[in-house]
């Protein structure tokens, strides 16, 4: 079973490039990738513009979270090959405050047997300092529950020149809280997607120059607020000083780094404005993270080289995750309609 995460910068965008421009269908694309689960970020499409060939795919189910207010912006989609795996529950958003498909009842208010669970408490939400409805309404998270694990497909807010730092920090805190709550409930978690944060100097080509310009040390670089939250979530993450309350334990493996611990240049993002990709001057901000007791399930993980995708300001590759020994899963076939 293979899981692929891909920031496509527009759901139609891949078909402008080889080999996708010769096949021009999603099932054919997924077959070339040899994928069973494909998590796409930055779909940049409105609900009304979703076409049948995007959502009615023979042999595949799909689940979307698209922004409710800012149209043609962000957006996450997950495609699952129904011969290999089918989720038993599907939700959008991190906090569970959005209404479930076809109802006016929030996911978090459904009966326990009908929701995924692990939602942050009211006090935990208040501590985020972010409007919960806004946080879940930007099309940034699809959550699927399989019998073996809960999968989060995520497109985290970007830095945006510091204009939304509070929102970005609140989103990462919400995600950290939800994942930890699920683990406490005894559920395994897989987190994949464009998290818009790097772990350490090895993950950013400009890190040493950035530190020199800012006049900061390694300890200060690694302790910036978003990076500190992220590293406390990751097993082996570099955390300076005492860990935050509630984040005493690391719970997810950065599986690509586990397979390639010393590899430099393992980047997934490049600034197109300076044509940074040919020289591989980029950063690694796209991840596949798996629960602590799932590490032995994984037989390979890597960044797929050479697949070009048109991007407006950035370009990304795929992260690949192969699972060993998972049986086909059964469950719901599709999130209702196009919700």
Active site residues: 155, 194
CA-nearest of 293, 325, 320, 294 to 307 is: 320
Helices marked H in the chain: 20-23, 26-33, 52-55, 122-128, 132-136, 165-184, 207-214, 218-222, 225-233, 255-259
Give the integer Cα–Cα distance in Å for 267 and 282.
Answer: 6
How many degrees, rounded to 5, is the angle at CA 140 between CA 254 and CA 30? 70
Give the integer Cα–Cα distance in Å for 312 and 38.
Answer: 22
Burial (0-12, 13-18, 19+ Cβ within 10 Å), 173:
buried
195, 230 Cβ separation under 8 angstroms:
yes
Phi, then psi, of 178 in degrees rounded to 5: -65, -45
């Amino acid at each position: 079973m293979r899981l692929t995460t891909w920031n496509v910068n527009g759901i139609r965008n891949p078909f402008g490039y080889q080999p996708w421009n010769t096949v021009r269908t999603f099932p054919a694309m997924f077959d070339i990738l040899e994928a069973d689960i494909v998590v796409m970020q930055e779909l940049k499409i409105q609900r009304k513009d979703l076409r049948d060939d995007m959502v009615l795919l023979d042999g595949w189910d799909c689940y979307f979270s698209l922004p409710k207010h800012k149209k043609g912006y962000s957006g996450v989609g997950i495609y699952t090959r129904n011969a290999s795996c089918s989720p038993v529950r599907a939700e959008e958003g991190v906090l569970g405050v959005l209404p479930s498909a076809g109802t006016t009842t929030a996911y978090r208010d459904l009966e326990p047997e009908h929701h995924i669970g692990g939602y942050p408490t009211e006090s935990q939400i208040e501590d985020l300092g972010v409007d919960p409805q806004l946080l879940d309404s930007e099309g940034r998270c699809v959550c699927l529950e399989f019998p073996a694990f809960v999968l989060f497909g995520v497109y985290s807010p970007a830095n945006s020149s510091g204009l939304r730092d509070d929102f970005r920090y609140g989103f990462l805190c919400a995600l950290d809280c939800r994942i930890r709550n699920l683990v406490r409930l005894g559920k395994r978690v897989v987190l994949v997607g464009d998290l818009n944060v790097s772990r350490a100097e090895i993950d950013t080509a400009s890190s040493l120059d950035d530190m020199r310009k800012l006049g900061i040390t390694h300890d200060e670089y690694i302790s910036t607020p978003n990076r500190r939250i992220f590293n406390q979530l990751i097993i082996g993450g570099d955390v300076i000083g005492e860990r935050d309350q509630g984040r005493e334990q690391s719970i997810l493996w950065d599986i690509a780094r586990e397979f390639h611990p010393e590899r430099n240049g393992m980047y997934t993002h490049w600034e197109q404005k300076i044509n940074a990709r040919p020289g591989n001057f980029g950063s690694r901000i796209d991840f596949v993270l798996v629960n602590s007791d799932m590490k032995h399930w994984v037989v390979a993980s890597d960044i797929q080289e050479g697949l070009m995708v048109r991007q407006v300001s950035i370009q990304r590759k795929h992260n690949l995750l192969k699972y060993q020994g998972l049986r086909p899963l059964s469950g719901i076939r599709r999130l209702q309609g196009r919700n």
